[in-house]
Structure 1
Amino acid sequence: MKHQPINGQHHVSMLTKDAKQNLWFYTEVLGLRLVKKTVNQDDPSMYHLFYGNRNGAPGTEVSFFEMPNAGQTRKGTNSISSFSLLVPNDEALSYWASRLDSFEVPHEAIVSIGERKSLTFYDRDELTVHLVSAEKDNGIELVEPWITEDIPPKYVIVGLGPVELTVREASRTKAVLEDILGYTQVRTVPSMGDSKVMVDIYETGKGGLYTELQVKEVNDKDRERPGKGSIHHVAIRVKDVEELTEWAAKITAAGFENTGVIDRYYFHSLYFRDPNHILFEIATDGPGFEIDETFDALGENLTLPSFLEERREEIESKLHPIR
């Protein structure tokens, strides 16, 4: 059976030590919209915050689990080492360098890798994030962004870009990308985080920055020890539950342990790890975040999936206000 291709990034999920500070940074500094304030469905005692464009469309979402006791991340291999946010043009990177300076956010200089320019910065949890210009990328699908009062519309963040996987044995992750998930290697370039190290670029579907996974082999370091600012998983997109069920069968047939299809209320998901311990989620595009809130009210209140609603009082009693 021929599977429909993966459609690129769906979201990336990270760990934060402080949800209130995280909310300030991603909305006030980066200008993203809080599109869902909910809880970790597997541990409702912790917040799960989603940020994105106007309606949190797949391909624009970044999410954070709050873990107040999270320690320092010990960087290492077999990890999702960084992710990217896209801006429309090269000029935007100069704007963002100045804006980050104004908020005293640490960042690197703007760099050029081939025709692509990027700017690396570090959030309050020391998470590594790249701002990548989509000016030279023909595969980009510019979404309708969230417009705020203080960021010029021509410079706003427009979605998720490349995600970097740092692994000990690249061939094992590449086999999953190519043979299981249907990605294609398109080129090899210097890493945005370290130009002395090369990364292999993989794309899927229509190609372009929205679909790009970067595989970097590092075999002289210990495995990463997760903590604040570490990336928990990368989610990639399929259209609907029917397609996801087909992917579940393929992944199971290939011998990978997986969760099977899980109803996450805002989308359906499947999780599995590759041989380098990278956690992949395959997630459906819908039903989306407006299933339980109107567009104008997205992110304003604590929302719970229906199966947790009867525990609302208990859950809310364990959460602290974040705004």
Structure 2
Amino acid sequence: MKLKGIHHVSAITGTAAGNVDFYTKVLGMRLVKKTVNQDDTSVYHLFYGDERGNPGTELTFFEFPNAWRSRPGTSSISSVSLRVPGDAALNYWHHRFVQYEVDHDDITERAGRLTLAFRDPEGQRLMLVSDEHDTGIAGGKPWVKADVPAEYGIVGLGPVQLTVSRAERTERVLTQLMGYTKKGQYASAIAGQPDIVVYETGEGGSGTEIHLEERSDLPQERQGIGAVHHVAFRVDDEAELRAWIDRVGAAGLAHSGFVDRFYFKSLYFREASGILFELATDGPGFDTDESLDALGESLALPPFLEPHRARIEAGLRPIGTGSPS
């Protein structure tokens, strides 16, 4: 009953085609699964990750083309980090962001690591974080066919920042329910606001961390294009997930119950500040229905959606110059 770290983060895009261009061609991540939102099959669900899409490396996007633009605020996942192998990689990425005209900040130390904050074309708030001095859970392996040298490539998800109006409520969920422990804290960049507190779980390290920011100067987030939908945490297998279902229920939190996403099994619940959390199993994995070499090349559907393929494909906008499939 010990969470292993961050499993994946799911965000919102307004255009699947533009999203694929940025995350594969600029960031050099692998599109490991092109599928649909299982709760709304009219829209894509895109998964990016390392060479295999290993748990802990997956950044995913729902395409909601008619959604409004997000408004940053509290009760939100306000920043997502992507791990790179070391400090030298940040210098490479700084030059690359200038080359590709990516909106970015300067390289800055946060929580004892060098970081490089940037925004994607839709304003999604992201940050590269150096693994130079990181210990704990290992990252993945960069996609070798990317237009980014492997020694600088993205190797997985790093710290996820939560922004809330009252930190103690979320802290209780993290520590008393989910088993996270406090690791440290660092100063907020916003004058007059409390320190940002760092929590970790499992083996610890960048790939397990939650950074909890309390803000009294913001309204509640309006979720939309450019926002994060939810964060998922790693559990070993279905047996452990079912034990977590009992644990979350006993804590009095409303939850989804067991959900079979085919590529992993899940549980969803909202923590005390309203942020959507998911617990997800490490397997079966993305090569369940596609070969490792062909991941993400065609529209993949779980077995229960396969009989509806023709209707689903007809309702999807093509990505790039090809068809949805």
The answer on whether the counterparts of 1:190 and 1:196 sit within 8 Å (CA) in structure 2 is no
What is the aligned residue count?
A: 319
Tell me which of 280, 292, 295 is aligned to 2:292. 295
User: Corresponding residue for 1:277?
Assistant: 274
Runs of 4+ residues deviating >3 angstroms: 193-197
- Which stretch has the larger CA shift, 6-15 or 146-155? 146-155
CA distance in 1, matches of 2:139, 2:178: 24
**What SS does the corresponding residue of 1:109 show, helix, strand or coil?**
strand
| TM-score after normalising by structure 2 | 0.96
The answer on whether the counterparts of 1:92 and 1:155 sit within 8 Å (CA) in structure 2 is yes
After superposition, the C-alpha distances for 1:293-319 in whole angstroms (9 at most, x for unaligned) are 000110000011111111111110000
CA distance in 1, matches of 2:286, 2:276: 23
The answer on whether the counterparts of 1:134 and 1:140 sit within 8 Å (CA) in structure 2 is no
User: Corresponding residue for 2:205?
Assistant: 208
CA distance in 2, matches of 1:180, 1:173: 10
CA distance in 1, matches of 2:67, 2:296: 24
CA distance in 2, matches of 1:117, 1:68: 35
User: Corresponding residue for 2:303?
Assistant: 306
- Specify the code of the residue in structure 2 equivalent to 1:245: R
Tell me which of 225, 246, 250 is aligned to 1:249. 246
**What SS does the corresponding residue of 1:97 show, helix, strand or coil?**
helix
CA distance in 2, matches of 1:311, 1:9: 32
- Which stretch has the larger CA shift, 294-303 or 182-191? 182-191
The answer on whether the counterparts of 2:139 and 2:207 sit within 8 Å (CA) in structure 1 is no
- Alpha-carbon deviation of 1:153? 1.4
- Specify the code of the residue in structure 2 equivalent to 1:174: E
- Alpha-carbon deviation of 1:253? 0.4
- Specify the code of the residue in structure 2 equivalent to 1:242: A
- Alpha-carbon deviation of 1:144? 2.0
- Specify the code of the residue in structure 1 equivalent to 2:252: G
Q: Identity across aligned pairs (percent)?
A: 52
CA distance in 2, matches of 1:66, 1:115: 35
CA distance in 2, matches of 1:202, 1:114: 11
The answer on whether the counterparts of 2:199 and 2:211 sit within 8 Å (CA) in structure 1 is yes
User: Does the C-alpha gap of structure 1 residues 270 and 140 become closer, same or farther in structure 2, counting only changes over 3 Å?
Assistant: closer
1:221 lines up with 2:244 in the alignment: no
User: Corresponding residue for 1:181?
Assistant: 178
User: Does the C-alpha gap of structure 1 residues 288 and 215 become closer, same or farther in structure 2, counting only changes over 3 Å?
Assistant: same
The answer on whether the counterparts of 1:7 and 1:211 sit within 8 Å (CA) in structure 2 is yes
The answer on whether the counterparts of 1:31 and 1:147 sit within 8 Å (CA) in structure 2 is no
The answer on whether the counterparts of 2:28 and 2:146 sit within 8 Å (CA) in structure 1 is no
**What SS does the corresponding residue of 1:306 show, helix, strand or coil?**
coil
1:146 lines up with 2:170 in the alignment: no
- Alpha-carbon deviation of 1:109? 0.4
Output aligned runs, 1:127-142, within 5 Å: 127-142=124-139
User: Does the C-alpha gap of structure 1 residues 218 and 71 become closer, same or farther in structure 2, counting only changes over 3 Å?
Assistant: same
User: Corresponding residue for 1:157?
Assistant: 154
After superposition, the C-alpha distances for 1:156-200 in whole angstroms (9 at most, x for unaligned) are 111000000000110000000000000001101134x65875210
CA distance in 1, matches of 2:192, 2:14: 31
User: Does the C-alpha gap of structure 1 residues 240 and 98 become closer, same or farther in structure 2, counting only changes over 3 Å?
Assistant: same
1:15 lines up with 2:12 in the alignment: yes
**What SS does the corresponding residue of 1:251 show, helix, strand or coil?**
helix
The answer on whether the counterparts of 2:118 and 2:127 sit within 8 Å (CA) in structure 1 is yes
User: Corresponding residue for 1:63?
Assistant: 60
After superposition, the C-alpha distances for 1:245-294 in whole angstroms (9 at most, x for unaligned) are 00000000010000011000000000000110010000000000011000
User: Corresponding residue for 1:231?
Assistant: 228
CA distance in 2, matches of 1:218, 1:91: 33
Tell me which of 73, 76, 82 is aligned to 1:76. 73
User: Corresponding residue for 1:121?
Assistant: 118
- Specify the code of the residue in structure 2 equivalent to 1:258: H
Q: Can you give the 5+ residue segments of structure 2 that lack an aligned partner in the other structure?
A: 321-325
- Alpha-carbon deviation of 1:98? 0.5
**What SS does the corresponding residue of 1:108 show, helix, strand or coil?**
strand
